[in-house]
A and B are shown apart, each in its own frame.
Chain A
Amino acid sequence: MSVLLKVENLKTQFKTDAGLVKAVDGISYHVDEQEIVGLVGESGCGKSVSQLSVMQLIPTPPGKITDGKVIFEGQDLLKFEAKGHEMRSIRGAKIAMIFQEPMTSLNPVLTIGRQLTEMLELHLGMNKKAARERAIELLRLVGISSAESRIDDYPHQFSGGMRQRVMIAIALSCHPRIIIADEPTTALDVTTQAQLLELMKDMVEHFRASLVIVTHNLGVIARYAQRIYIMYAGHIVETGTCKDLFAHPCHPYTIGLLKCIPRLDEEQGKKLVPIVGLPPNLINMPPHCAFIPRCPYSTERCKREPWPELKLIDGQHYAACYADIQEK
């Protein structure tokens, strides 16, 4: 499969009164065609900011993309003006985004239909009638019953799960190449979460698109994604195919994460092994690896040297750690 989106050395910083926040500090990743990629990390690790940077949706100021390239269809998206027409023709049309909060990401004073047809009219140049027909078709596709009448409803008339279905319909409306789903199901119940993830998987297959799932839930990634990136404090610390990474995690943070979540199929009476300490404060970060205070494998070398580069383990599996860890 060929590479569809390639992000190189992306850096996004925020100037705050307390100091400089390096939310994303030189990450590189890629998304292949028709692939489902997972991006995992705890809150504040920069996973959402990295995705917003790709879409150039970072509020400037205080935020600024200071370095890096986002190569999509042979063009560097970061060369375009954030509000220019090139970026607009990509945002929503070729790269679509589904946000976490289905309650707040839809406009409450516009009907669902208007929010769908706006996209179709703007990006695809459809007339009103055609756009409305297409919108009904899309709503039906994402599993909204009696779409003809519900198209004129407002977001508050939909439940949380239904709103997220509408979001999926909007994201799909212009046949995007990539859909970025930022914590798409976090606010929802597990059975609704399962319904929506299954729907998203079917839809990206149907539309031959790629999907980037941003989440803190490793289970969701294990179920749906082919490849995974683990983020910590603005860096990618480990990446690989799901099979490799879950079977042989090589970064202390990944190992810690897998040991500290309760599993549904675990033995009774098994103790969880928490990761000690707290996630780092991103203000004025040290030049070395930020996981050191919580890392059971850290050595003097970790403190002396800069943040480690991603190092090849095998195949597509890379980890950013000086220690050589092989755990089952």
Chain B
Amino acid sequence: MEPSQNDILLDVKNLKMYFPVTRGVMKRKVAEVKAVDDVSFKLKRGETLGLVGESGCGKTTTGRCILRLYLPTSGQISFEGHDISTLPESKIRPLRRKMSLIFQDPFGSLDPRQSAGSIVGEPLIVQQLVTSRAEYEERVEQLFRVVGLDPGMTDRVPHEFSGGQRQRIGVARALACEPSLIICDEPVSALDVSIQAQVINLLEELQEGLKGLTYFFIAHDLSVVRHISDRVAVMYLGRIVEITDSKTLYENPLHPYTRALLSAVPIADPCVEEKRERIILKGEVPSPLNPPSGCSFHPRCSIATKECSQVIPPLRDVGGGHEVACIRI
């Protein structure tokens, strides 16, 4: 049976990823970094879920747990109905065909001594998706065309390409196995503004062309995330504090952190800027080694009460799929 457009592609429940901090020759565990702490969300087939937050909040770790590049400490990740959180490595590889990753750095993520064609084609060989040389070459050329690169450039090496073109190679590689989920980890952050739009449009066009292609879009730039995503999750110190559709996120943000984050992003229009309310957060993001008690945002929050330092607020639905983790809302 053909799955319907609305079914759940990825269901993450209570995902936790703790990294041990060790000391001494015996690698004695002295502390834990709770990079991802009890994160739950669902991803529908064909939608784009954005994940925003500041550096160190656990966005990338969440993405890597979904791909099972890390073995999560606890929690379930079901992908197309299979729980992949505890699968052994040997059973993961066939499933990885269905999910791929676009990296942030178009300079560091491509092997400088490998030709562009072989970078794009390698997943085809690893996953044994092609049977002959001719089929392989045809497929690589087709992938080059899909992302707007000249198929005549397959023999070139990465340094001969510009930043935007390299990111296109990264996109082509991610598409090679016809995945249903692509995790985009800051795919445009390293690019110039005029080139960013080209890559964003490419990602959008691919999704329109390939029905059912789902993106998990990780970025720190809220305006980019809001532009490309259907829904947006906001993360702070390993937890999701708010998750809603991208229209509501701008028009009616509820969590005080989301509000501060939105107000920190300037809009390229002086007339709009004059009227905007500016919330300047005090202090810095606390260390995830020693996060504050209760709601980890309470030391910087303008509406925090005594209770906020005692209870960890659960993510709850306030209507229309708008979920927020704050006891004061």
Contact = CB atoms under 8 A, between A and B. Distances in A.
B193 interface: yes
A241 B223 CA distance: 24
A168 to B, nearest CB: 15
A264 B194 contact: no
Contacts of A279: 192, 194
A194 B263 contact: yes
B226 interface: yes
A217 B194 contact: no
A216 B273 CA distance: 17
Interface residues of A, number: 44
Given A42-B193, A260-B197, A273-B197, A190 B261 contact: yes
Given A159-B284, A264-B250, A190 B54 contact: yes
Interface in B8-58: 54-55
Contact of A272 (B162, B227, B272): B227
A190 B193 contact: no
A1 interface: no
Interface residues of B, number: 44
A194 B264 contact: yes
A247 B269 CA distance: 8
A274 B201 contact: yes
A42 B163 CA distance: 13
A42 to B, nearest CB: 4
B281 A265 contact: no
A162 B283 CA distance: 10
Interface stretch (A88-96, A115-123, A175-183, A219-227): A219-227
Interface in A254-296: 256-258, 260-266, 268, 270-275, 278-279
B222 interface: yes
B270 interface: yes
Given A261-B223, A265-B267, A272 B192 contact: no
B280 A198 contact: yes
Most chain A beta carbons < 10 A, residue from B55, B164, B197, B268: B268
Given A42-B192, A191-B264, A193-B264, A223 B273 contact: yes
Contacts, number: 124
A290 to B, nearest CB: 14
Contact of B222 (A221, A264, A266): A264
A257 B250 CA distance: 23
Main secondary structure of the interface of B (DSSP, over half): helix
Contacts of A162: 284
B265 A264 contact: yes
A190 B222 contact: yes
A189 interface: yes
B222 to A, nearest CB: 6
Interface in B283-299: 284-285
Contacts of B247: 268
Given A268-B246, A279-B192, A222 B278 contact: no
A107 interface: no
Nearest to B251: A265
Contacts of A242: 270
Contacts of B263: 194
Interface in B193-215: 193-198, 200-201, 204
B264 A272 contact: no
A258 B223 CA distance: 13
B1 interface: no
Interface in B89-128: none
B260 interface: yes
A161 B280 contact: no
Nearest to B164: A278
A147 to B, nearest CB: 15
A55 B191 CA distance: 28
A218 interface: yes
B194 A257 contact: yes
A246 interface: yes
A43 interface: yes
A192 interface: yes
A229 B82 CA distance: 55
B265 A190 contact: yes
B300 to A, nearest CB: 9
A194 B281 CA distance: 8
7 closest cross-chain pairs (CB), A and B: A219-B266, A262-B227, A274-B197, A260-B197, A194-B264, A218-B268, A189-B54
26 contacts: A190-B221, A190-B261, A191-B260, A191-B264, A191-B281, A192-B284, A194-B264, A194-B281, A246-B268, A246-B271, A257-B193, A260-B193, A261-B193, A262-B228, A263-B223, A263-B267, A263-B268, A264-B250, A264-B262, A268-B246, A271-B201, A272-B200, A272-B227, A274-B195, A278-B162, A278-B164
Given A223-B267, A261-B196, A264-B267, 20 more contacts: A162-B284, A189-B55, A189-B220, A190-B261, A191-B54, A222-B268, A243-B271, A246-B268, A260-B196, A261-B223, A261-B268, A263-B223, A264-B223, A264-B250, A271-B201, A274-B197, A274-B201, A275-B194, A278-B164, A278-B195
Interface of A: 42-43, 159, 161-162, 189-195, 198, 216-223, 242-243, 246-247, 256-258, 260-266, 268, 270-275, 278-279
